[in-house]
Structure 1
Amino acid sequence: MSRKVYLHIGAPKTGTTYVQDRLSLNAKSLARHDVHLPSAPLVDPALFHFRAALDLLDQDWGGPAGHAEGGWPALVRKTRRRSGTVVVSHEILAPAQPHQVARAMRDLAGAEIHVVYSVRDLARQVPAAWQESIKQGRSWTYASYLNRMERGKVWFSRAFDLPRVLGTWGAGLPPERVHVVTVPQAGDQSRHGDPLWLRMCEALGIDPAWAPLDSDRSNRSLGAAEVQVIRKLNRRMDRAARREATYDELIRQMLAQGELLKNESATVRLPPDRFDWAAERAERWIEWIEGSGVHVVGDVEDLRPVPPADDDAYVDPDRVSGKRQLNAALDALAAMTHEAARRQDPDKALAGRVRAGAERLRDR
């Protein structure tokens, strides 16, 4: 039975939420063309792949203790039952250790394995990663995070290290089976659809016509004031250490990915004095790509950071005015108050969840 397995391993903050949701929305249509997204009954494919990735990496976060146990063998079994093309996608796979990659390759032996890595210039990727870490409960300042990032002391720095990631995941694979997908620079458009999606389709061997349903999901960025409010809330509630699932989900869904996205405070950007570092990393990545012979979808020039036209417009997120933070905090308090009132009416809350679930199923 002929089978190709595409392992989309990240990187984080390169449009992976959108790509994974679009694959999921079009799972039935893709299956008719012998392209499969492993999943389980009543389990969203993104969650199924997340648990499998956690299990492979011997991690256990994002849910109750033991929630990922057995996830990787379950995904492998689903994969082995398929012919044609199988797509596995989760961005936390990027910084896997050599022994974990070796296990993945061993468990999937018998298939033609491809590795797909989407990559974005650091001027956009680094600020987005700081915001994501705050959404997930961290409370470090932007300056502290940037210093750690440059020294390779944060998880994201390992996930973004293109030579290391592809050197590990691509070990033993022909270079033509390692695919680098560059994220288009802002403003790049296509008359034929989302340019990132079209590039991903090319890397995965998918005809875009097989996946007509678009996704409205994305992991959008917050403004500087809103990030500071959540950062200080994290510190007050000690989220990183306590990881209380109930309010942890409430903060992420209601604030970090909900109400506070509606505000329009200053954009979090890479500081002007960090562009030389980002440009040096980009040059190293491009040299590695060109010397390795891997398959590139897009343009390696997309990896070079583009300095803003006006450096004087830079706003330090660690120095956002108290007035702006107060306004964002009041918006957060209002959102939480409305949510508390809604939850006091269980019938209305249940009806809302059923309606949302029905709409989601209908869209698929």
Structure 2
Amino acid sequence: MASKLILHIGLQKSGTTFLQHMLQHNAEALADAGVRYPVPADWDRGRRTVANHEWSSYGLLGTEYPWVSERRAAEEAPAWESVREQVRESPGTVLLSAEAMSVVRGPAARRLLESLGVADTEIVVTARSLGRALPSLWQQHIRNGRSTTFGGYLTGLAAHRDKGPDHVENELDAHIWRAFTLSGLARRWTDAGASRVTVVTSPGRPPELLWRRFAEAAGVPGLAEIPTVQSEGARAHGGLTAPETLVIAGLNDAMREGSWSRRSADRVRQLATERFQTRERRGAKVVVPPEWRERVAGWSREDVAALPGTGAAVIGDLGDLAYDPGRDGASAPTPEEAAAAGAEAALAFAELHLRGGSSLRRGARKIRRRLP
């Protein structure tokens, strides 16, 4: 049985993929330091670009995640048993990493810790400013096929938050605030039986600073000297700018009206997103809408002020978690920026169509040459 368990819960858009790639890439160096990062044998199935333990946890917690079906949970059950087995077989420290564990409710958190059964369990949370996280969350919402405006998205979040902490902790659909209300997250895992909770603040850049802070929290500061590497999937996880996000939202509307299949719609979004990543002048970044900035700043102040009272240790600067609305510029892209992004998406589809057509024409010529 492992003598210690470190459970890394990276909030969405806090550098989680970067850290997981570093852990996977440096698994041998971790092992030399007495820390095992189990890499699932089938980690590269589906769309995953890096090894982590999120899908494995579906096998235990299942529909506790709002997006996981009972069928999917049953499919992942063997993966969770594999993780448990590796924890039982490891004599030293085991480190697991799963972003989605930030959203589970208290009973599910306790069930997970009891399933692993390691007495000395530390939770390491990586987090960033709410004012920086919300634009990224809305982008992901759009990339998942929605077309809600940023203001509409924030209205939905506000409705959950305004119902109070009990609602956030118990209502399945309030999962965003279960993750991003840091004080609630820290208390939840402490109450579930964790020995310690440590919050690592994400500075955004440089990534080396986040890695050093994480290595310190994991108790292996020597890893901080390892050069950082970028994941091959980093481009796929790159953010969208404001005009690009609006183009994807418009595509989502059009494809929904046209009853496109999910698979085809996903492919269209992927093509456009990959094309956007190659642009030199991509337009303004997504920022909190002006009419929401003071309210988001108030949420941020509440959460940062409540964190010290949880007993969680903090590595980094609490200032990294603050949101200064004065630093955000204009929120609406110009018509020229939106037109340029739309043209880029159209070019991506045109090139795909032309390549496919050319291939068909070549095939037809080969067949004709073989005919008598």
TM-score of Structure 1 vs Structure 2, range by shorter chain? 0.7 to 0.9
The 5 Å alignment of 1:39-50 reads: 39-44=39-44, 46-47=50-51, 49-50=53-54
Greater CA drift, 57-66 or 8-17: 57-66
How many residues are treated as equivalent by the alignment? 332
Matched, 1:336 2:331: no
Go from structure 1 to structure 2 and tell me whether the alpha carbon gap of 1:277 and 1:53 turns closer, same or farther (over 3 Å shift): farther
Query: Could you tell me how far apart the structure 1 residues matched to 2:119 and 2:194 are?
Result: 14
Matched, 1:96 2:104: yes
Q: AA paired with 2:76?
A: A
Go from structure 1 to structure 2 and tell me whether the alpha carbon gap of 1:242 and 1:62 turns closer, same or farther (over 3 Å shift): farther
User: Which residue, 127, 142, 167 being the options, matches 1:119?
Assistant: 127
Query: Could you tell me how far apart the structure 1 residues matched to 2:356 and 2:111 are?
Result: 45
Please list the CA deviations of residues 278-332 of structure 1 after superposition, one character each: whole Å capped at 9, or x if unmatched: 33223322332211221111111221112335x6x41236xx52x5333322211
Helix, strand or coil: the match of 1:170? helix
Residue in 2 aligned with 1:195? 209
Query: Could you tell me how far apart the structure 1 residues matched to 2:33 and 2:352 are?
Result: 43
Go from structure 1 to structure 2 and tell me whether the alpha carbon gap of 1:157 and 1:315 turns closer, same or farther (over 3 Å shift): same
| TM-score calculated relative to the size of structure 2 | 0.78
User: Which residue, 213, 218, 221 being the options, matches 1:204?
Assistant: 218
Moved over 6 A (4+): 343-346
The 5 Å alignment of 1:57-76 reads: 57-59=61-63, 66=72, 67-76=75-84
The 5 Å alignment of 1:68-87 reads: 68-87=76-95
Please list the CA deviations of residues 163-193 of structure 1 after superposition, one character each: whole Å capped at 9, or x if unmatched: 2222222215466x10111112x56x5xxx7
Q: AA paired with 1:34?
A: G
Please list the CA deviations of residues 4-47 of structure 1 after superposition, one character each: whole Å capped at 9, or x if unmatched: 11111221111111111111111233223222121233534945
Go from structure 1 to structure 2 and tell me whether the alpha carbon gap of 1:304 and 1:340 turns closer, same or farther (over 3 Å shift): same
Cα shift at 1:343: 6.7
The 5 Å alignment of 1:313-352 reads: 313-316=329-332, 321=335, 323-339=336-352
Contact 1:139/1:234 (<8 A) preserved: yes
Go from structure 1 to structure 2 and tell me whether the alpha carbon gap of 1:213 and 1:339 turns closer, same or farther (over 3 Å shift): farther
User: Which residue, 255, 271, 278 being the options, matches 2:289?
Assistant: 271
Matched, 1:292 2:310: yes
Structure 2: 5+ residue stretches without partners: 161-172, 361-372
Contact 1:30/1:211 (<8 A) preserved: no
Query: Could you tell me how far apart the structure 2 residues matched to 1:3 and 1:341 are?
Result: 58
Contact 1:131/1:227 (<8 A) preserved: yes
Go from structure 1 to structure 2 and tell me whether the alpha carbon gap of 1:42 and 1:70 turns closer, same or farther (over 3 Å shift): closer
The 5 Å alignment of 1:207-222 reads: 207-209=222-224, 211-216=226-231, 217=234, 219-222=237-240
Go from structure 1 to structure 2 and tell me whether the alpha carbon gap of 1:291 and 1:20 turns closer, same or farther (over 3 Å shift): same
Q: AA paired with 1:338?
A: E
Greater CA drift, 132-141 or 276-285: 276-285
Residue in 2 aligned with 1:352? none
Cα shift at 1:214: 1.6
Residue in 2 aligned with 1:6? 6
Larger radius of gyration: 2
Contact 1:26/1:213 (<8 A) preserved: no
Residue in 1 aligned with 2:113? 105
Q: AA paired with 2:216?
A: E
Residue in 2 aligned with 1:181? 200
Q: AA paired with 1:116?
A: V
Please list the CA deviations of residues 171-228 of structure 1 after superposition, one character each: whole Å capped at 9, or x if unmatched: 15466x10111112x56x5xxx711111111111222257445224363221111101
Matched, 1:129 2:137: yes
Q: What percentage of aligned pairs have identical amino acids? A: 29
Residue in 1 aligned with 2:167? none
Contact 1:33/1:210 (<8 A) preserved: no
Query: Could you tell me how far apart the structure 2 residues matched to 1:18 and 1:253 are?
Result: 20
Helix, strand or coil: the match of 1:83? coil
Matched, 1:146 2:154: yes
Please list the CA deviations of residues 81-131 of structure 1 after superposition, one character each: whole Å capped at 9, or x if unmatched: 212221111211101022211111111113411111112111111111100
Contact 2:198/2:312 (<8 A) preserved: yes
Structure 1: 5+ residue stretches without partners: 347-364
Residue in 1 aligned with 2:272? 255
Go from structure 1 to structure 2 and tell me whether the alpha carbon gap of 1:133 and 1:331 turns closer, same or farther (over 3 Å shift): same
Cα shift at 1:273: 3.3
Go from structure 1 to structure 2 and tell me whether the alpha carbon gap of 1:264 and 1:291 turns closer, same or farther (over 3 Å shift): same
Q: AA paired with 1:142?
A: F
Helix, strand or coil: the match of 1:329? helix
Helix, strand or coil: the match of 1:94? helix
Go from structure 1 to structure 2 and tell me whether the alpha carbon gap of 1:284 and 1:25 turns closer, same or farther (over 3 Å shift): same
Query: Could you tell me how far apart the structure 2 residues matched to 1:154 and 1:246 are?
Result: 30
Residue in 1 aligned with 2:165? none
Helix, strand or coil: the match of 2:145? coil
